[in-house]
Amino acid sequence: MTDTPQDITQIALAAPIRVARLDARKPMEFDLRPEPDIRARIAALLGLDGLRKLRFQGSLQPLGKRDWELRAELGATVEQPCAVTLAPVITRIDEPVTRRFLAEMTEPEGLEVEMPEDDTVEKLGPEIDLSALALEALALALPAFPRAKGADLSEAVLHKAPPGAAPIDEDRPKPFASLAKLRDKLRPED
């Protein structure tokens, strides 16, 4: 039995990059391709049936004197259960990922904070964690309701019945529909 991680910080595709060690004159290239055991842990964390491939490739480039920009491509092949039939659904994900890490960025104050318009900007800390960025991008790119080819929502049983009772048949006459028609007949016309 595999150990299921509790959060993203327990899975490392690469060690975090110390910003102080980056060369401010040239970009740093990276290409992360986790082994099958790491992909299995990621799949367990994200509730996937499988993660066949995962690649996070790009570069960290200097942006001015103290800021950095990450430009990368996330590629993955995931297996999820169909939202209608539970049959396996294979999805190919190819997503561009851009983040700008700014040294001078004011932190919002107060209990209520508005989301910034530009969601690619983050405060530059002492490290840049490529693993967390890759897994966040993957989690956001996953289809929320994957559907198998030919799966039709009208065929699904939408109401669970108590044990021993038959599920509700959508074609069966509904008693309150007749009452609604009677109410409409008795309502005075305007």
Query: Is residue 3 a part of any domain in this protein?
Result: no
Instruction: Give me the number of domains the chain comprises.
Output: 2
In this structure, the answer to whether residues 52 and 77 fall within a common structural domain is: yes
What domain range includes position 84?
8-151
Tell me: do 146 and 159 sit in the same domain.
no
Interval 145-157: pLDDT, tens: 998 888 876 644 5
Q: Which has the higher per-residue pLDDT, 152 or 34? A: 34
Across 51-60, 145-154, 161-170, least confident range: 161-170
Q: Judge whether 40 lies within some domain.
A: yes
- Same domain? 84 vs 128: yes
Beta carbons within 8 Å of 134's beta carbon, 6+ residues apart: 13, 32, 54, 56, 72, 74, 97
pTM of the model: 0.71
Kindly report, residue by residue over 94-111, the tens digit of the pLDDT. 999 999 999 887 676 777
Residues 22 and 108 in one domain: yes
